[in-house]
A and B are shown apart, each in its own frame.
Chain A
Amino acid sequence: MTLLPLIVLIPLAAAFIVALLDFIKDDFTRELAMDIVSGISILSALIISIVLFGNYGTYAMAGWKFPVGIILVLDGFSAPVLVITNFVALMCLLFSYDYIKKYGAKEKYYALFLLMLAGMNGVIVTGDIFNLYVFLEIASVASYALVGYGTQREEIEATFKYLVLSSIGTSFMLLGIGLVYAHTANLNMAYISEILASSGVSAGQAPASIYLAAVLFIVGFSVKAAIVPFHAWLPDAHPSAPAPISAMLSGVLIKTIGIYAFIRVTYIMLGMNTGVVPQVLRIFGSLSIMIGVLLALGQWDFKRLLAYHSVSQMGYIALGFGLATPLGIIGGLYHLLNHSVFKSLLFLNSGAVDYRLNTRNLKKMGGLSEKMPVTGTTSMIASLSIAGIPPFNGFWSKLVIVIAAIQAGHPLLAIWAIIGSILTLASFVKVQRYAFIGKIKDSLKNIKEATALMQVPMIILALACILMGLILVPSIREVILDPAAKILLDPSKYIELVRGAAG
């Protein structure tokens, strides 16, 4: 468990080191040094997250004991999210090595990238609500800067919208934390959960301020998770960022500081895993599924289309968690993991196309598979995954969500999800048809495949799309998905974990 703080510290320290490496005069050496430092730091974070997997426990920062100090916790819910976050981050970083050259100012880019990752890792492992808020702001501020990284007019506009709406969300969160703190006089999530459980939150007997806090948390985290009607910033912000950052934002950021933190705070800290909160998730989730996919269908901008699909897919994840049955939570978490992989892959594909063609307009593409076979094939795999075509990973998680919806007695939600899935298919068939399939356009005869360093992460992610279906094999599922369901449906297990390890 002594490794646990390193997962935050390594990227955090590397962020500052990379920024300092700017002193090296020689261009080649400087870039190489920065590539190596950032690469090694994320790789080690990934390795730590894998080594720690299944090894649930806590780490008390600076030796301050529970419930006074800040405690880092690794439980069944955080472990899989931690692995996928660092995995996707590593892939995006690999892709950035060549891609970001056209933007320049690599040291700032890497520093922000690492800072964002440190923030996300912090949000995932922290056991303290205020600490969660701080890490969330670290990740958010880094992402504001990264969205506007190109400093073009529309990029600045997008980041401004993102900044304003996000700030509304985060101020709501802070207010919520204040209200909870006023009632419990503590910031440790396990401890708060204990107090609230004894004051009868689920029975509706807790003071109104707690329910107000719940509303504030829901709004705050929903803004971050881009769930309808709090999604409006996303379709502007995600396409404006450089492609690997879009992949990070859509792939993991909206999940870790969005839906993950949402579920962590409402289900576990407030103990509201029945009743209104799941209902809200179901309703907003269903709205997201449909509104996101409909807007995506009308898009001709490749990245904007993908961004709208992020809204839609977040709806599936929210729906899964909102069913609040073991199977529903398994489905939601599983879809979260899968979506991280295929959506980041799709954004990397769009980046590879943009890198060679300098356009995001689908109408200006055509038959790209002929000249860019790796990009074409991997984008096909990712498209089939997100559209829920067997045997790719997206099919399996949607299947679990549909089964869970019907078992939980919501057949209408299942039908709704199916309709969303058909429209998703339609939208990605359109992408394939206009961008990749068929004879190449005459004007594009001279384009080349993306560089080798950009191909590698795409291939790895595509393989993950194919192999992640295996997670559903019972013996693997028991290790990866089931613990999360147990802990989310019974917060006392979380309290036990925190108490037991910390004495």
Chain B
Amino acid sequence: MNLVTLIFTIPLILGIAAIFIPKFLFKYGSVFAGITSAALVWAGIQAFPYYRLEALGRTPLLEGGVLSLSLIVLTGIFGFLITLYSIGHMEEKSSFFWSLFCWMLSSSALVFVAADIIVLMVAWGVTGLILALMIWQDGNEAVGKKTFIIVGGSDAVLLFGMVAMAATAGTMQLGEIVIKPGAPLEWVIFGSLIIAAFTKAGAMPFHTWIPDTAKDAAVPVVAALPASIDKLLGIYLLKKIFIDWFVFTPGKSTLLMVIGAFTVIAAVFMALSQHNLRRLLGYHAVSQVGYMIMGIGTGTPIGIAGGLLHMVNNAIYKQGLFLGAGVIEKETGTSKLEDLGGLYKNFPVTFLSFTIMAMAISGIPPLNGFLSKWMIYQSIVKTSNSGGVMWVVYLTAAIFGSVLTLASFVKIIHAAFLGQPAKGRKTHGENISWQVPALVILPLACIVLGVFPEQTVYPLLEKVTGPIAISGIYKPMMAAALLIFGAGFALLAYVVFKVSGYRISEPYIGGEKITPAMRVSGVEFYTTIESIRPFKKIYNFARKGYFDIYELLKEFVFYWIKLLRWIHDGVITTYILWVIIGTVVLMFGFLK
């Protein structure tokens, strides 16, 4: 079967067929999504030995190299895991969900292999539409509205950028486009294209739809789009724009680095202060994008490789974290951190899986999150060769952001899994069935990619970016071996020195009895950060929506609306006056 059949025709037909599945057979619709995922993986794998899509039959509208192929395969795998998860997680609802799911995978894949601006724009726009429809399907009217306006608006900006770029470059073929410095409209085109990429990926200041969506949309939807596939889409486009279509200039690089650094820090600060597990994860989904942008923004092979690897890593663990949060929410009925606590006993699988991925996102070696961040740090240091001191700022932001990420995940782990259970929380056990594959495979992937990069991702990345020269003495396998050795040594010491004479005692607090009301939920400590002087103001402004581009533009637009309504007073003489003014103006135009 050729590529078009696999990634377009099959999903389209399956999606249409899924509409007609009656509601009570909802779960069986997953077969359709599963087949679509498999088709994507199959398409990628078939072409892989050749490293070119053309191996599957040439079409003028589609092409792709290693990066495109890998992303298709990844999308297929993610789709498959989330499909399985959904069977266990979702209640019966309209099977249109599966139609959207099939089309989501298909349109994402089409973005990765588009060879023509029209194909890219349409597929890109459809992914945004599907996101909005998926959010709306669960009845989240307000969140869907905001998301659709921001994402759909950025699609319109992309349309302009693409068309203007094609006009400047003189071709619609994406593979042939090169915009040289000083070309007409260079910065306008660049700006509009990266707005689209940033909005989809969730970089600041176009990120505000992500925390809202993360909090309210169905978990499989969040895990599939904002957490993983949207990241792939946005960063893929960013790489295309910055590396392939535009010629590298320091100015553009600085722009990306500054936005990236700002995103890392600002979003992680917002994450720290969240009380809702999913919203907190949502802010991390924004923060991590900053690293990817910084990596690609350096324009060095190692930076690009690091950025792309971080994109993949982030898609893996962020998706897994959301899925884990979904398991908790389904059983406890809440994702407010204050209402959780002590879940590790009841949710052993989720706890283990969540902890590994939390470590990965916090950049703890030897997990994959550390590896890609390490590559990005190196690329930032390398930019110091070209002079300037800004690299220090970027590097500080990156490292500081990583520390704060760790801090906020310590908060989650403590508040949700450790600590004492909240009062009145239902203590059902873990109820997972179809969710298991995702909860097991995703953290395993974090470990494998972190420990064995030479055997897995490096060869692929080098095909995309050229040789990656990693300096320093970090060797993943050695680091892993040392860590395992260290842990083993500790265990040995524990056994040998018989650290068994311990006892478990109740905490003593001045003779008072511990009541659930005295529980430390793990959220309180971080509230102190909010009351520190400059932060207090900033957090306050953030809460009022002063940093939300959506709210700001809304204010601006409604100011004009007020003005226009004032002159539309409904009095017929006013309207006749306009006609006369219009006529006079025209007369001047024609009879001067």
Contacts and interface: CB of A to CB of B under 8 A. Distances in A.
B144 A433 contact: yes
A357 interface: no
A219 B582 CA distance: 8
A294 B136 contact: no
B549 interface: no
Contacts of B132: 429
B185 interface: yes
A389 B125 contact: yes
Contacts of A421: 156
Nearest to A160: B572
B164 A425 contact: no
Nearest to B140: A438
A367 B564 CA distance: 31
A161 B572 contact: yes
A92 interface: no
Given A168-B576, A298-B565, A403-B163, A422 B560 contact: no
Interface string A86-110: 0000000000000000000000000
Interface string A188-212: 0000000000000000000010011
A219 B156 contact: no
Contacts of B564: 291, 294-295
Given A208-B591, A390-B126, A426 B153 contact: yes
Nearest to A417: B160
A451 interface: no
Contacts of B578: 229-230, 232
A223 interface: yes
Nearest to A272: B590
B122 interface: yes
A425 B149 contact: yes
Contacts of B152: 387, 389, 422, 425, 429
B557 interface: yes
Contacts of B160: 402, 414-415, 418
Contacts of B457: none
B425 interface: no
A232 B591 contact: no
Interface string A406-442: 1100010011001001110110011011100111000
B125 A222 contact: no
Contacts of A395: 122, 125
A215 to B, nearest CB: 5
Contacts of A407: 167
Contact of B590 (A214, A230, A391, A403): A214
Contacts of B128: 389
Given A219-B583, A411-B188, A429-B148, A390 B122 contact: yes
Nearest to B578: A229
A296 to B, nearest CB: 9
A448 B586 CA distance: 51
Contacts of A232: 568, 574-575, 578
B551 to A, nearest CB: 13
A418 B159 contact: yes
B440 interface: no
B281 to A, nearest CB: 25
A233 interface: yes
B139 A211 contact: no
A218 interface: yes
A461 B118 CA distance: 25
Given A211-B590, A219-B583, A426-B153, A164 B141 contact: no
A280 interface: yes
Contact of A297 (B140, B561, B570, B575): B561
Interface in B411-469: none
A164 B570 CA distance: 13
B163 A422 contact: no
A384 interface: yes
B141 to A, nearest CB: 4
Contacts of A164: 572, 576
Contacts of B575: 161, 165, 232-233
A229 B590 contact: no
Given A219-B579, A425-B152, A425-B153, A212 B136 contact: no
B104 to A, nearest CB: 14
B583 A215 contact: yes
A470 interface: no
B579 A295 contact: no
A54 B430 CA distance: 69
Given A291-B564, A390-B125, 17 more contacts: A165-B576, A172-B583, A208-B591, A219-B586, A229-B581, A235-B568, A389-B129, A389-B152, A390-B121, A395-B125, A398-B159, A411-B185, A411-B188, A414-B164, A422-B152, A429-B144, A433-B145
Interface of B: 118, 121-122, 125-126, 128-129, 132, 136, 139-142, 144-145, 148-149, 152-153, 155-157, 159-160, 163-164, 167, 185, 188, 557-558, 560-562, 564-565, 568, 570, 572, 574-576, 578-579, 581-583, 586-587, 589-591
9 contacts: A230-B578, A298-B562, A390-B122, A390-B125, A402-B160, A411-B164, A411-B185, A422-B157, A425-B149
Interchain residue pairs A-B with the least CB separation, the first 6: A232-B575, A390-B125, A422-B153, A438-B141, A390-B122, A298-B561
